[in-house]
Amino acid sequence: MSKCDLCEKELGKNEYSLGGRNYHFSCGYETAFALKEAAVNYAFKMNSFVALGISLVNREFLLNLFSNNFRENETISATFNVGLWRTNSPSIIIKPPESPKFTKIRPVQGGVSIGNVNFPVAGTIGGVVIIENEFCILSSGRALAPENFELRDEVSQDAFFDGGNEKDIIGFLSSTALPVKGNSNTMDCAVAVVYEDVGVAGRIVRIGNIGNTAEPLLGMKVMKRGRTTDTTQGVIICTDATVSVIYPDGERIFRDQFIVAREKSNFALQGDEGSFVLNENKDVVGIILASSNDITVVSPIEPVLERFGARLLRV
């Protein structure tokens, strides 16, 4: 019986491969992660770099390089002696939503339009969370805290961009976790305190009550409800990804993300940022960061909740 190349214990049926060697799942993933961390420095040099993470195809761990120019990517495979899954993907560029969407819902809940009233922006409410005994909205930083925002800016559902008005104001911006130029970002999120006279619910439109939080896993089937593309299903195709996102004022690099894809259609588009991503048990695994035409980048939910000292409202 063959043994794991890392821990040297017998493999049995728990056998996975990486670069021609055999591993237990956990050992293979650990090795793939180390290779990915080393290879990302090469990937940064590519003009066409979009993302690099870990994928699993037929029990083989691969580095998954998302790029819009395959001619540049041979260096990684040759240098690190590892299988390279190449995914043709356009650059992920932050853009405003293309057109208004009208989705006013009460009580306030996940899956619908939200925006800072002082700017022409719109994103999606991920869900309602509790922070220091206050009900709060968790969403995208770009929807709640766009450039030149101020804390205590009011937010509305619908966003003013989507036809909301003063009667739709539901709370005020209270805290942010926004990216900076560099390569150490892990989220782009913000929270808004909900006014006491506004009703809230721990559910997501067209999905229902949410469960707990869960870890995003390769191959996991997921779903979301977003302001732009409504309810969609997809699959996690890449984890522990390092991703380049182009903001209006320059590039931001995000680490520790996961990537969702949907066959023959979009899992998410502009305006869906902030949506919670859930597994089949309706446990929350992440919050949408950004999308291109074919992939969606998602930040794992547990670090986001920890950053804000928040817990999900589940009733």
Give CA–CA dist 173/191, Å, rounded. 6
Reply yes or no on whether the pLDDT at 78 is more than 80.
Answer: no
What domains sit in the chain, N to C, each tagged with a CATH number? 16-88 (3.30.300), 108-204 (2.40.10), 208-312 (2.40.10.10)
Six token digits for residue 12: 């049995």
- pLDDT for 251 equals 93
**Number of other residues whose CB lies within 10 A of the CB of residue 126:** 31
pLDDT at position 83 is 67
Helix (H) or strand (E) holding 132: none
Task: Give mean pLDDT, residues 273-277.
Answer: 98
Q: Give the pLDDT of residue 184.
A: 84
The DSSP-derived string for 175-214 is EEE---SSS-B---EEEEEEPTTS-EEEEETTTEE---B-
Question: Where residue 277 falls among pLDDT bands split at 50, 70, 90?
Answer: very high
CA distances in angstroms from 7 to 19, 82, 105, 214, listed in the order given: 16, 19, 53, 27
pLDDT number for residue 102: 83
Weakest mean pLDDT among 93-102, 137-146, 300-309: 93-102
Segment 270-275 mean pLDDT:
97
pLDDT at 159 over 60: yes
**pTM of the complete model:** 0.95
Calpha distance 127→219 (Å, rounded)? 24
